[in-house]
Amino acid sequence: MNASIDTTPEKKKTSHGLFIIQAWLVLLLAAFFGAALAGIQLSLAPKIEANKLNETLDKVPELILGAEAARTFKDSGREMNIDRQYMTTGTKTYSVFKAAADNELLGWVIKAGGQGYADKIELLVGVDKNIAGITGLFILDQKETPGLGNKIMTPEWRRQFINKPTQKPLTVVKTKADAPDQINAITGATISSRAVCDIINQSLNNLRQPLENAATATQQTSDNPQETK
Amino acid sequence: MADQPTAFERFTQGVLPENPVYRQLLGLCPTLAVTNSMQGALTMAGAVLFVLLCANVIISLIRDLLKPHLRIVIFTLTIATFVTIVDRFLAAYMYQMSKNLGPYIPLIIVNCIIICRCEVCASKQSPFTAAADAVGQSLGFTLALASIAAVREILGTGMFFGIRVLPEMWPDWVIMVLPPGAFLTFGLLLGAVNWVAARKKTEG
Amino acid sequence: MNDTPNTTEIPQDDTKRAPAIQVGHSPHLSDASFTTRRMMIDVLIALVPVVGMAVYVFQFYAVFQLAVCLTTCLAAEALFTKMRQRPLSLFDFSAAVTGVILGLSLPATAPWYVGVIASVVAIGIGKVIFGGVGMNLFNPAMVGRAFVMIAFAGAMAASGYESLQTGIDAITQATPLNAFKQMGISTPLKDLFLGLTNGSLGETSALACLIGGAYLCIRRTASWEIPAGVIAAVLVMGGLADIFGSSDNWTVIHHLFSGSLLFGAFFIATDPVSSPLTPKGKFIFGAGIGFFIMVLRFFSGYPEGVMFAVLLMNAVTPLINRWTIPRVMGE
């Protein structure tokens, strides 16, 4: 009995030490794997970051020039300079992409978001250099009802936004849209359709002044005489 | 260890008789979550193949050094490392797919198929057998994912690998590409597999 | 695989009929085939005014939709029972009832495949997979309808009800609930009560549902506690909304007579298989359905919520049974 009591603390002591010794493999592997992962992260991180940015940047030429013109533009070998800016109006901050080629301002792409029917809708809307008309629309992220609201992603529906004037807010109509400020609702998804229009209206309304200011600033610095009014 | 299956047996068992999804009911989270398109399903299957193969071989190489009470830690450590590698690679070279699969690639870490194979095979058998086992099990997993994804993508979108296979007038069964479709398809296919297995048993 | 134990069980049950009280799955009947059949025929009789009204309002569209659902349900029942090597159960009319109720819950202009797929899902996944009549957890017709509702959102959502090409007055209007939800337009109570409005085939006429429902309750084929629970919950919640809510012109009575509320309360919720066993349980079940209908109508994106409410309460039926079935003393 006495002997067993005596040995207990001793045993505990040795087993504590043993845990560390036994875990040598875990520690070694952890160090090794950690180093390997660090290496991979170092080599891949720039590419992943570039992917994230390109996701939006890739869309800019198409949104400003239209799909067809964007392709010919690219084939002609001209370079489009896309400049990302942040514009704050009131409480909201927008990411705005300024597109220019050969010192000539081509247009703007605004990244905007707002509440849809199911969840937030994030979209890109392109406007021409005078902020007079919409040149394109792309839905980045949405979780609308599949089969109804998610049709806002379809090119057929998005196409009707092209060349819409920005002076008057866009309105959604259920029947045939004939006025220039009208957008056809998706059948059965009036709320989603209206949400997209509201996001566009609101962001254009908020950004009209800052964009015009920025545009005149660009024109002053550029040497292109066609730009000045 | 004389009664351990050979490498060839490990390989064939994994594909059908011990199919990880239909027979062992393991790895159901990705099975249900990513099978609404063939591309997604096959990417997931490829990721699992890579992780399982690497983890199995590494565990098998160090199997004599494993302490019983520390083995799970080492399994998890190894699996997590390779999962992170896959995740970064997808984000770098298949960005859109990595976005579509979302959290399900990192979740391979907790995929029971891999830890099960480490425990059952890799920690007991040679690297060659472990590799054969990994390929067999992954092939079984791929077959299962592909079968579910084929049903869901064709019925749900009328397409296969993103290419239209059903006539334009086909009304898409949107429910099939949504979560309920995953449960229904998996349940019905599992029932069919069990039915075939039961028939084989009574015949043989 | 399950076939072998079950087929041997059935004759055992017959010989063991002696013990006095058995608490098991409903329906609790001494002679299953006869009484199920009697009940189902009763339901079909009760549906006559509803079907009549549907045919009067929607004309050919109602006949077509009902025919599609009825024939597909019967064919699916025959096919699936044969696959399970069970005796043909067509003549207990349960599949016929499912078919008619399913048909009545669809929009008039739904394309043919909607009815076909809904019927196959209703019988196959809603009923036969669980073990056939008496074993299903959920109301088969609602399982089928939920499937097509999500699968073919375009044909089944509020917009699916409206069409300008049919030449039938009712179909050109928005459904009353949708007109209210989208545009705040209230429909006169008289139209809602008589049923000259747009909607699912069977739901438009409150009057026809009340006549059929009264027949079912008097015959005791349906337990009156369930519709009573539904209506009570709707009255309470709708009444509270009237008192505290905005002063719009959609009152609790509009709620009661619109949509498939009465049709659901009398014909769908009262399915004896997927509802609780005790009177108290039935009332709780009904009240739960009424509660969820109102919650869905007030807060969800859908204008109507009867189908989801019934399915939700079906899911908690075993729980209600546990709470309300009296325990044997000492247990």
- Angle subtended at Cα B184 by Cα B182 and Cα B187, rounded to the nearest 5 degrees: 105
Whole-angstrom Cα distance, residue B87 to residue C54?
A: 57
> Are A148 and C301 an interchain contact pair (Cβ–Cβ within 8 Å)?
no
- Angle subtended at Cα C199 by Cα C196 and Cα C203, rounded to the nearest 5 degrees: 80
Neighbours of A52 (CB within 10 A): 13
Q: Does residue B27 lie in a domain region?
A: yes
Task: Answer whether C130 touches B (CB < 8 Å).
Answer: no
Task: Give me the residue from C151, C154, C182 closest to A148, CB to CB.
Answer: C154
Task: Answer whether C117 touches B (CB < 8 Å).
Answer: yes
How far does chain C reach from its first CA to its final CA, in angstroms? 35
Residues B141 and B29 sit within 8 Å (Cβ to Cβ): no
Residue where the block lists tokens 């990595």:
B98
Chain C residue with Cα closest to A174: C159
Residue count of chain B, please give it: 204
Whole-angstrom Cα distance, residue B54 to residue B47?
A: 11
Neighbours of B167 (CB within 10 A): 7
Cβ-in-10-Å burial (0-12, 13-18, 19+) of C246 comes to exposed
Whole-angstrom Cα distance, residue A89 to residue A211?
A: 11
Contacts of C89 (CB under 8 A, 6+ apart): C77, C81, C95, C132, C133
Residue where the block lists tokens 């995953």:
B182
> Are A188 and C182 an interchain contact pair (Cβ–Cβ within 8 Å)?
no
Which of B74, B75, B153 is the best mutation test for A, with the most CBs of A within 10 A? B74
Q: What is the largest CA-CA distance in chain A?
A: 104
Residues C69 and C119 sit within 8 Å (Cβ to Cβ): yes
Whole-angstrom Cα distance, residue A183 to residue A204?
A: 16
Q: Are residues A89 and A175 in the same domain?
A: yes
Q: Does residue B53 lie in a domain region?
A: yes
Q: Considering its fold, how many domains does chain A have in total?
A: 2
What SS3 class is residue A173?
Answer: strand
Q: Does residue B5 lie in a domain region?
A: no
Whole-angstrom Cα distance, residue A116 to residue A7?
A: 70
Residues B141 and B20 sit within 8 Å (Cβ to Cβ): yes
* Ordered strands of the A81-89 beta sheet: A81-89, A92-101, A104-115, A120-128, A134-141
Residues of B with Cβ-Cβ distance to A41 under 8 angstroms: 88
> Are B171 and C1 an interchain contact pair (Cβ–Cβ within 8 Å)?
no
Q: What is the pLDDT of residue C233?
A: 93
Residues of C with Cβ-Cβ distance to B174 under 8 angstroms: 150-153
Judge whether residue A4 has pLDDT over 60: no
* Torsion B121-B126-B127-B128 (CA) sign: negative
Whole-angstrom Cα distance, residue B147 to residue C35?
A: 44
Whole-angstrom Cα distance, residue A158 to residue A152?
A: 7
CA-to-CA separations, A192 to A118, A163, C288, in angstroms, rounded: 8, 21, 31
Q: Considering its fold, how many domains does chain B have in total?
A: 1
Quote the tokens at residue C127: 């009923």
Task: Answer whether C278 touches A (CB < 8 Å).
Answer: no
Q: What are phi and psi of C112, to 5 degrees?
A: -60, -35
Please give the class, per CATH, of domain C30-324: mainly alpha
Q: Are residues A213 and A165 in the same domain?
A: yes
| Nearest to C112, CA basis, from C72, C163, C74, C172 | C72
Chain B residue with Cα closest to C155: B171
What is the C-alpha radius of gyration for chain C, rounded to an integer number of angstroms?
20
Q: Are residues A29 and A73 in the same domain?
A: no
Q: Are residues A99 and A161 in the same domain?
A: yes
Quote the tokens at residue C316: 């908690």
Range list of H helices, chain B: 7-15, 28-33, 38-61, 71-93, 95-101, 112-117, 127-157, 174-177, 179-203
Residues B112 and B96 sit within 8 Å (Cβ to Cβ): no
Task: Give me the residue from B174, B194, B195 closest to C150, CB to CB.
Answer: B174
Quote the tokens at residue A62: 């198409």
Task: Answer whether B92 touches A (CB < 8 Å).
Answer: yes
Q: What are phi and psi of A160, to 5 degrees?
A: -70, -10
**How far is the alpha carbon of A188 from chain C, nearest alpha carbon, in Å?**
5
**How far is the alpha carbon of B188 from chain A, nearest alpha carbon, in Å?**
23
Chain A adjacent subunits, 3+ CB pairs under 8 A:
B, C
| Nearest to A215, CA basis, from A80, A91, A106 | A106
Q: What is the pLDDT of residue B152?
A: 92
| Nearest to C272, CA basis, from C206, C220, C201 | C220
Residue where the block lists tokens 């990994």:
B134
Judge whether residue C5 has pLDDT over 70: no
Q: Does residue B7 lie in a domain region?
A: no
Q: What are phi and psi of C26, to 5 degrees?
A: -75, 165
ipTM for the whole complex:
0.81
Q: Are residues A43 and A71 in the same domain?
A: no
Task: Answer whether C182 touches A (CB < 8 Å).
Answer: yes
Chain A residue with Cα closest to B156: A147
A16-75 pLDDT per residue, tens: 667 777 788 888 889 999 999 999 999 998 898 888 888 788 888 888 888 777 778 777
Q: Are residues A31 and A73 in the same domain?
A: no
State the DSSP code for B120.
Answer: I
What SS3 class is residue B66?
Answer: coil
Whole-angstrom Cα distance, residue A34 to residue A40?
A: 10
Residues of C with Cβ-Cβ distance to B171 under 8 angstroms: 111, 113, 152, 155
C183-218 pLDDT per residue, tens: 777 788 788 888 788 888 888 888 888 999 999 888
Long-range contacts of C32-38 (CB under 8 A, 24+ apart): C32/C134, C33/C92, C36/C92, C36/C93, C36/C94, C36/C133, C36/C134, C37/C91, C37/C92, C37/C93
Q: What is the pLDDT of residue C25?
A: 58
Quote the tokens at residue C151: 């699968």
Q: What is the pLDDT of residue A206?
A: 85
Residues of C with Cβ-Cβ distance to A118 under 8 angstroms: 301
Q: Are residues A29 and A71 in the same domain?
A: no
Q: What is the pLDDT of residue C117?
A: 92
What SS3 class is residue B105?
Answer: coil
- Angle subtended at Cα B99 by Cα B183 and Cα B158, rounded to the nearest 5 degrees: 50
Task: Give me the residue from A117, A146, A147 closest to C301, CB to CB.
Answer: A117
Neighbours of C236 (CB within 10 A): 15
* Torsion C220-C226-C227-C229 (CA) sign: positive
| Nearest to B112, CA basis, from B85, B141, B139, B90 | B141
Q: What kind and span of H or E run contains A105?
A: strand A104-115
Chain B adjacent subunits, 3+ CB pairs under 8 A:
A, C
Better pLDDT: B78 or A214: B78
Chain A residue with Cα closest to C183: A190
Q: What is the pLDDT of residue C21?
A: 56
Chain-centroid distance, C-alpha C22 = 28
Domain around B41: 17-203
Residues from A in contact with B at Cβ < 8 Å: 22-23, 25-26, 29-30, 33, 36-37, 40-41, 44, 47-48, 51-52, 55, 146-147
Contacts of A49 (CB under 8 A, 6+ apart): none
Q: What is the pLDDT of residue C30?
A: 52
Low-confidence ranges of chain B (pLDDT < 50): 1
C252 pLDDT band, cuts 50/70/90, is: confident
Q: C206-218 and C32-58 are packed helices; what angle lies between their axes, rounded to 10 degrees?
A: 160
**How far is the alpha carbon of C328 from chain A, nearest alpha carbon, in Å?**
49
Judge whether residue C13 has pLDDT over 90: no
Q: What kind and span of H or E run contains C115?
A: helix C112-124
Contacts of A68 (CB under 8 A, 6+ apart): none
> Are B171 and C147 an interchain contact pair (Cβ–Cβ within 8 Å)?
no
Residues of C with Cβ-Cβ distance to A115 under 8 angstroms: none
Judge whether residue C318 has pLDDT over 80: yes
> Are B81 and A36 an interchain contact pair (Cβ–Cβ within 8 Å)?
yes
How far does chain B reach from its first CA to its final CA, in angstroms? 30
Amino acid A36 reads A
Domain around A173: 63-227
Mean of the per-residue pLDDT values of chain B? 89
Q: Are residues A205 and A125 in the same domain?
A: yes
Judge whether residue C316 has pLDDT over 90: yes
C80-120 pLDDT per residue, tens: 888 887 777 777 788 899 999 999 998 888 889 999 999 99
Please report, rounded to a whole number, the percentage of residues in chain C having pLDDT higher than 90: 23
> Are B175 and C151 an interchain contact pair (Cβ–Cβ within 8 Å)?
yes
Please report, rounded to a whole number, the percentage of residues in chain A having pLDDT higher than 90: 7
